[in-house]
Amino acid sequence: MKSNSLLKLTFFLFLITSTLLYSYHARRKFVALEGHESTPILKTIPEVKFLDSFNNADFSFGLNSQDPIGSVVHFWGTWCGPCETELPSFISLANEFEKDNLKFYLIAVNDEKLKLKKFLKRFKSFPKNIKIVLDNSGQAMDSFGVVKVPETFVFNQSGQTLKKFSGPQEWNFPYYHTLLKDILTLN
């Protein structure tokens, strides 16, 4: 009976010790990653040429685009609930940078022209620095490596990727305004 209790106690102590050692080991790996700045996979804005089915015209942008201080490329769709929710604050952010001439590209993907037009009627007007396109071919998504929406990329005037945002954002937070001013050196 005493032997059985001693065996249980030994096993319990072994289990606790093993757990603590593993936790210490795993924590050291994460501590080593602190302060490590991740490098974006997409290094520069890709050259994209496709038929803008919203305007029935060819559309292209990329390294040769004339975006004086940079560009923000946002993938979304009217069929995407989080995209619809965040769009008003995204348009508001674009409006704040209209005088700075920062270009905002709203690329609606896998959408229908009529649904897009109906959805966009909710907004009275758009800043002049926003370009809205419909890419049903999926070429833009493929070129950027986008697999889900919403997803947003920020590029400087040289076309280098500065930041990527995956998932819905609350674009009205001062963080985004300050971040864009800082990384695009608009101060």
Q: Please choose, from the candidates 73, 61, 97, the residue with its C-alpha nearest in 3D space to the C-alpha of residue 161.
A: 73
The stretch 127-143 carries a mean pLDDT of 89
What pLDDT was estimated at residue 1?
61
Distance of alpha carbon 99 from alpha carbon 71, whole angstroms? 14
The stretch 8-12 carries a mean pLDDT of 88
* Contact present, 21 and 5 (Cβ < 8 Å): no
* Contact present, 170 and 86 (Cβ < 8 Å): yes
Q: How many CA atoms lie within 13 A of 184 on its CB side?
A: 25
pLDDT-derived band at 32, boundaries 50, 70, 90: low
Residue 59 has pLDDT above 90, yes or no: no
Q: What is each CA distance from 49 to 59, 123, 137, in whole angstroms?
A: 6, 27, 11
The stretch 127-148 carries a mean pLDDT of 89
**What does the longest C-alpha to C-alpha distance in the chain come to?**
85
Identify whether 127 is preceded by a cis peptide bond (ω within 30 of 0): no
Model-level pTM? Answer: 0.75
The stretch 15-20 carries a mean pLDDT of 88
pLDDT-derived band at 174, boundaries 50, 70, 90: very high
Highest mean pLDDT among 16-25, 80-89, 130-139: 80-89
Whose structure tokens read 């995209």?
83
What pLDDT was estimated at residue 137?
83
Q: Is residue 21 helix, strand or coil?
A: helix
- Pair of tokens at residue 127: 């800043």
What pLDDT was estimated at residue 2?
72
What pLDDT was estimated at residue 86?
95
